[in-house]
Chains A and B, each alone.
Chain A
Amino acid sequence: MALSGLVKRFGEKVAVDRLDLVVPTGSFYGLVGPNGAGKTTTLSMATGLLRPDAGTATIHGVDVWAHPVEAKAMIGNLADGVKLFDRLTGEQLVTYTGMMFGLSRDEIGQRTADLLRIMDLGEAAGTPVVDYSAGMTKKIALACALVHAPRLLVLDEPFESVDPVSAANIEDILRGYTQGGGTVIVSSHSMDLVQRMCDHVAVIGAGRLLAAGTVDEVRGGESLQDRFVELVGGRHHTEGPEWLRRS
């Protein structure tokens, strides 16, 4: 995936400011940045959900905004902060997504069963998604992102509120996926997770790219956490106000 010169303004505020980023095929790419840095905005523009004011996004050489249908067929997207069609049961939702991509009925049945098993959602297959917990909702959304076997996975905060066991299972799936030639882009606030899972990382702050490259290049001997704070700034060293300390 290649982003070049992406710009997005919301009124006066520039959310993403001439951002260039190249994600190599087969990489496990982490995207980190403080709240409001423009991660979600960038990923929305890269996946065809938000029209950029300027710049292009291409996926395996296909321009996302010029040929959205071809590009989107290659993307599996787990968007953050959007709802699902939560009146459907988990099984119906995954089937629906498979149908939208025009898979055959046999394929859909097979893949849905596999995905529900992998995500430990077999028990809840017949429960409406609205009754799922936050973690289960994430998992069913991830299953929907995987059902059409995309070449690129774009995951916005995939591990938020997912329990450690499921997270480890999902991590295994994603690792196997990249070894099979798939590309994963993960945005996250958890530096430890990015340092452990990803081979590449990009740091975004105030809509600009602050650093990008392999994880080792970016952290340069420090922990990713320290390097991130150094790049982004804004760390306070205080013990908090007096009244908040009880003893």
Chain B
Amino acid sequence: MVATLLRIRFRILGNTLARSPWQLVGFIITAFWALGVLFMAAVGLFFAGAAGADVTRYAVVAGGAILTLGWIIGPVFVAGIDTTLDPAKLATFPLTTGRMMIAIAIAGLTGIPGLASLIGGLATFTAWWRWPLAAVAAVVCVPLGVAICVVASRTVASLASGLGGRRRTQETVGLIAFVVILFAGPIFLGATQLFRTGVESGVQFLAILDGLSWTPLAAAWAVPGDLAAGSPVTALFKLLIAAATLAGLWLLWSRSLAAGLASPPQTSARRVQSGSLGWFGRLPTGPVGATWARSLTYWLRDARYLQQLLLAPLVPVFVLFYSGGDLTSPFFAGSAIGSAFFVGVAPYTIISYDGTAFAGILQTGIRGRADRVGRTLAAASVAVPLVLLVAVVTVGISGRWEVLPAVLGASFGVLLTAYGVCAVSSALLVIPVAAAGDSPFKRVPGATFTMGLVGIGLWLVAGLLAAPEIVFAVLAIALGDPLWSWLAVIVGIVLGAVLCVVGVIVGGRVFDRTAPSLLSRLKSYKNA
């Protein structure tokens, strides 16, 4: 049965690659990249081995920890969760949970990342052959380390994709994910800072690695090194930690699968009192008010929308990171403009998020203009306070209050311009997105390379249209002349407002023409 499942997995991979040449190209590039990294790792380890047991030990521990962390974070945040062997789909087959897990784990192991990790693990032998005892231990520990990677990855994926049974689990994992993303920048900043000072002082960095070698992240990788360095007792303890990690993860995964398969997600309801209409009770009746209220409810409640809003606080953090943590830099003072840009272009294919529920909009016979106005107002209801907040906080931290008008003027100009562009583009485009309630991190079938290019093209258009106020704001920040500040304010608001209105009018006309074909395309997507 396990063999059959693995055959299915490779058949699916083969079919996917055969169907789209671009994915084949991507596959081959990834494979070569992995080979390159592996080769460098093997060479590095060979020379590390020549330099002595301690160097090798620390190098392997650091590498192992990064590898494990990558397996945990990668699928959830970067690549999307691999759903080729979806436990929910396998549930109908006569297959025990244990066997299913073995099949999924081996499937994970035989993908490019799995094979690369395994070969990378084996590459440590280029160093360990100098210490026979360590080499013998590595025979056990390398498979153990790789197994921890694969199982940890699947456990996190299982929890993140809501297989943990209750929607609350799923939402909690989602929330943690958001927080991690939010603080990824500062954490990274802190880590590199630590690394720098650590390398300078030497000892501190090694102490961190020593500590890390006791944690589940690197324990398995630390065992051969400890043996090589002649401390068999710590090696034994670390081996026990690693084994316990694998057992614990396996148990957690198994329980989350069992819970998820026996009781599908979406059982616990977040109920409200009947009669509580939320935004529908507060905004005016009519197509515009209805669209406004509905869209605003989604902006505030749907993880897929919230994910886009997260970019607003992230931009200043990234700017800070790239400017080396300089709080007084002009880039940081103006970073709210970047936030406004990314929040503004977020709804460029907003109808995609409606999915086939868009049929409900279409059958009311709503005029395109009313739809555009409602959606723009909803997006602005969230984005305007958010951008205002980011602008005041970043300018406040940088202490350059005199540039606040320029930053605000350019930010709102960019926001309005982006909404104008989105009002047109979202009447023309729909793309496959994660379904409502799915993890926004889940891999979406059907998204193509061209769709990504179109998105970047729209960013360029929005950026060019908003260029005047951005230039004025940059001049204001660089030269400190209030004249540029006020130009940024006036041009930003006036030009932005004009472009937004034009966008809504044009987009409304386009919508009237294209709406039925948008619905047809949405219906053709698998999970919309």
Contact = CB atoms under 8 A, between A and B. Distances in A.
Interface in B477-528: 516-517, 519-520, 523, 528
Contact of A85 (B285, B294, B517): B294
Contacts of A69: 365, 367
B87 interface: no
A123 B516 CA distance: 35
Interface stretch (B10-18, B123-131, B250-258, B273-281): B273-281
Nearest to B358: A82
Contacts of B290: 96-97, 99-100
Given A71-B365, A89-B272, A128-B270, A82 B360 contact: yes
Contacts of A105: 285
B84 to A, nearest CB: 25
B274 A84 contact: no
A73 B365 contact: yes
B516 A85 contact: no
B23 interface: no
Interface in A63-112: 68-73, 75, 77, 79, 81-89, 91-92, 95-105, 108
B357 A86 contact: yes
B519 A126 contact: no
B360 A87 contact: no
A80 B275 CA distance: 28
B244 interface: no
Contacts of B269: 127-128, 131
A48 B363 contact: yes
A144 interface: yes
Contacts of B520: 50
Contact of A95 (B280, B286, B361, B517): B280
Q: Which of B271, B287, B290 has the most CB of A within 10 A?
A: B290
Nearest to B273: A126
Contacts of B363: 47-49, 72, 75, 77, 79
B175 interface: no
A48 B362 contact: yes
A204 to B, nearest CB: 20
Contacts of B360: 82, 84-85, 97, 144
B356 A86 contact: no
Given A47-B363, A48-B365, A82-B523, A92 B297 contact: yes
A130 B363 CA distance: 21
A156 B267 CA distance: 27
B96 interface: no
Contacts of A71: 365
Contact of B437 (A68, A99, A130): A130
B378 to A, nearest CB: 13
B119 interface: no
Contacts of A87: 297-298, 301-302, 436-437
B516 A82 contact: no
Q: Give the interface size class of chain B.
A: 35 or more
Contacts of B519: 49-50
Contact of B516 (A51, A75, A96): A51
A125 interface: yes
Contacts of A51: 516-517
A98 B287 CA distance: 9
B364 A103 contact: no
A91 B364 contact: no
Contacts of B355: 83
Interface in B424-457: 436-437
Q: Which of B273, B301, B361, B363 has the most CB of A within 10 A?
A: B363
B216 interface: no
A99 B436 contact: no
Given A69-B365, A103-B285, A125-B274, A49 B266 contact: no
Interface string A112-127: 0000100000100111
B364 A79 contact: no
A23 to B, nearest CB: 18
Contacts of B213: none
Given A50-B520, A85-B294, A96 B357 contact: no
A203 to B, nearest CB: 25
B359 interface: yes
A99 B285 contact: yes
Interface string A25-59: 00000000000000000000001111100000000
B266 A95 contact: no
A183 to B, nearest CB: 16
Given A87-B298, A87-B301, A95-B277, A82 B356 contact: yes
A143 to B, nearest CB: 12
Contacts of A79: 359, 363
B100 interface: no
Contacts of B366: 100
A97 B361 CA distance: 8
Contacts of A122: 274
Q: Which of A51, A84, A85 has the most CB of B within 10 A?
A: A85
Interface of A: 47-51, 68-73, 75, 77, 79, 81-89, 91-92, 95-105, 108, 116, 122, 125-128, 130-131, 144
26 contacts: A47-B363, A48-B363, A49-B516, A71-B365, A72-B363, A77-B363, A82-B359, A83-B528, A84-B357, A84-B360, A86-B437, A87-B298, A88-B297, A95-B281, A96-B280, A97-B290, A99-B280, A99-B293, A108-B285, A125-B274, A126-B271, A127-B271, A128-B269, A130-B266, A130-B436, A131-B267
Given A91-B274, A96-B293, A128-B271, 18 more contacts: A51-B517, A71-B365, A72-B365, A79-B363, A82-B523, A83-B355, A83-B436, A83-B528, A85-B294, A85-B357, A86-B357, A89-B274, A96-B294, A100-B361, A101-B364, A102-B286, A122-B274, A126-B273
Interface of B: 266-267, 269-278, 280-281, 285-287, 289-291, 293-294, 297-298, 301-302, 354-367, 436-437, 516-517, 519-520, 523, 528
The 9 closest A-B pairs by CB, nearest first: A72-B365, A99-B290, A125-B274, A82-B356, A82-B359, A100-B364, A131-B269, A69-B365, A126-B272
